[in-house]
Structure 1
């Protein structure tokens, strides 16, 4: 397999994982340190969320992104920065009064999800391409077509590459519409997210179907959560894509063994190389993804 594979490390996410592993980074310094370690281990891209340093809860605070990004950029370690822009889409409803949001709701409009992107101008930011029943209970993730068009247009104006997050096939359908409407610059970048309840299951047949629906010339990566994460590195590469690992999606290196982001990245590197592919450097990743060069960042 003679091609270069981009490895992304998603270092912390927004899930309720802090209490389940001592290795999940919380503070900007911890998140930056993990991102730098993952980059040194072979990740060309690091995907960044931030958390409230006091509680470990997910946050949209620009100052936390600023501190984290500054630490990574000042480290001298070359890595492609991918900031989430998906925060602010959570709606938890009262089953008896569905028009009444309850604790856990963090729902803002499309532009209010982007102030950290506007200030920090990362190489990549995510665009979650549809609404979803997010697991059990009454939690939903809200991302409507009009919200997505507004967000895509603003990200395009900023010159940031959107990573189109796809949690189900209908979202992929709509993302291709964004491409057709000229709101996504070529080459489009898709992240096929598998196994998140209740989105697309982590099934090779589903992945193959989604890959077949991608627009011509698009780049894609794919990941699966939990125990499927590391096997899915091989699955994604064999399907022609790139790969993502990290504590956002999985806490274990093997059964009963808690992982670090560095260890998960090292294991992904081994898998890619054992398949006969090469691990892309950050510069090679920029070339593949068509990223705009930045100066003074």
Structure 2
């Protein structure tokens, strides 16, 4: 069991959730405020997506990221910023009989440089790197697309920027990619890995699978784990028991309990309660920086 645990709050995500809960932040001001409140509740890391303020849909406009980051950094609240680099790998095929041309309404494919414009401009301490392709929860003809060459190119740019990549592992094959990136010298020690559980077509969120993935971790890696929906909060306990850290937040789950919509701060507070009831200590931002060898930017 890990007795010194840090909490990441995934504040908003890019999924179609804004219409299901009034607490899902959409505008840069709302996203920054929610990240600040999560930090005050005990989150050491805020994982940030941005959304189109008009439609609520996921976006990757660097100006939106810049406003969120500026608001958080100028707030006086200390939190490690973790910006997503997952946008730009969305492929929706045209159908079962004619996969090409792709469906342009849902496809958003960008090159390595474009996917990292906001990271290289804003220099957060952490950014995510999804370590493989998969049929994702949206179903249909959607594929989350991250080829080995794309991941290597992105890892090189992230390393050159002095940003720590959080390596997102959705299934066992993604761990192979993680190990290759480490062996090729593209990931600085210690590797930071996120085990993403319970997403349809990826690794299920049962304890056996979590432990099996944890046993595949590279030596010296620091890892967190999360699940989606109703299993988010139980996975807080499972992740700590497996030796890891935890992630909660409205990107992955909208509810505190059956029928009760949550805020990000509520989910962080519940995670703190679970961990402290297990006699685990919740780490602050500076302790996390020391553990992960992060470069504080502000």
Q: TM-score, normalised by structure 2?
A: 0.98
Partner of residue 69, structure 2: 69
Residue 131 of structure 1 is matched in structure 2 by 133
For the aligned residues, what is the CA RMSD?
0.9
Whether 1:242 and 2:245 are equivalent positions in the alignment is: yes
Distance of 2:71 and 2:153 partners within structure 1: 30
Q: Write the mapping of 1:213-224 to structure 2, written as runs, cut at 5 A.
A: 213-224=216-227
Tell me the CA shift for residue 134 of structure 1: 1.1
* 8 Å contact from structure 2 (residues 237, 274) kept in 1: yes
Distance 1:57 1:214 in 2: 34
Q: Is 1:278 equivalent to 2:281 in the alignment? A: yes
Equivalent position of 1:210 in the other structure: 213
Asked if 2 retains the 8 angstrom alpha-carbon contact of 1:2 and 1:278, the reply is: no
CA distance, structure 2, for counterparts of residue 52 and residue 288 of structure 1: 34
Determine the structure 1 residue equivalent to 2:60. 60
Q: Is the 8 A contact 2:125 2:294 kept in 1?
A: yes
Structure 1, gaps ≥5 residues long: none
Q: Deviations over 1:32-62 (max 9, x none)?
A: 0000000000000000000000000100000
Say whether residues 1:233 and 2:241 are aligned partners: no
Kept in 1: contact 2:2–2:244 (CA 8 A): no
Deviation at 1:157, TM superposition (A): 0.1
2:161 is the alignment partner of 1:158: yes
Q: Write the mapping of 1:1-297 to structure 2, written as runs, cut at 5 A.
A: 3-95=3-95, 96-102=97-103, 103-135=105-137, 136-294=139-297, 297=298
**Kept in 1: contact 2:29–2:68 (CA 8 A):** yes
Q: Tell me, yes or no, if the aligned pair for 1:221 and 1:244 is still in contact at 8 Å.
A: yes
Runs of 4+ aligned residues of structure 1 deviating over 3 Å after TM superposition are none
Using the TM superposition, name which of 284-293 and 58-67 deviates more: 284-293
State the Cα distance separating 1:4 from its structure 2 match. 1.5
Q: Is the 8 A contact 2:2 2:240 kept in 1?
A: no
Give the distance between the partners of 1:76 and 1:111, measured in 2 at CA. Answer: 31
* Partners of 1:26 and 1:51 within 8 A in 2: yes
State TM-score, norm by structure 1.
0.98
1:293 deviation in Å? 3.3
d(CA) in 2 for partners of 1:266, 1:100: 47
Whether the 8 Å contact between 2:136 and 2:142 is mirrored in structure 1 is yes
Supply the distance in 2 between the matched residues of 1:11 and 1:117 (Cα, whole angstroms). 17
State the 1:125 CA deviation.
0.1
Q: Secondary structure at the match of 1:18?
A: coil
Aligned to 1:20, the other structure's residue is in SS state: coil
CA separation in 2, counterparts of 1:81 and 1:192? 19
SS in 1 for 2:19: helix
Gaps of 5+ in 2: none
Once the two structures are superposed, residues 245-271 of structure 1 have per-residue CA deviations (whole angstroms, 9 ceiling, x without a partner) of 000000000001000001000000001
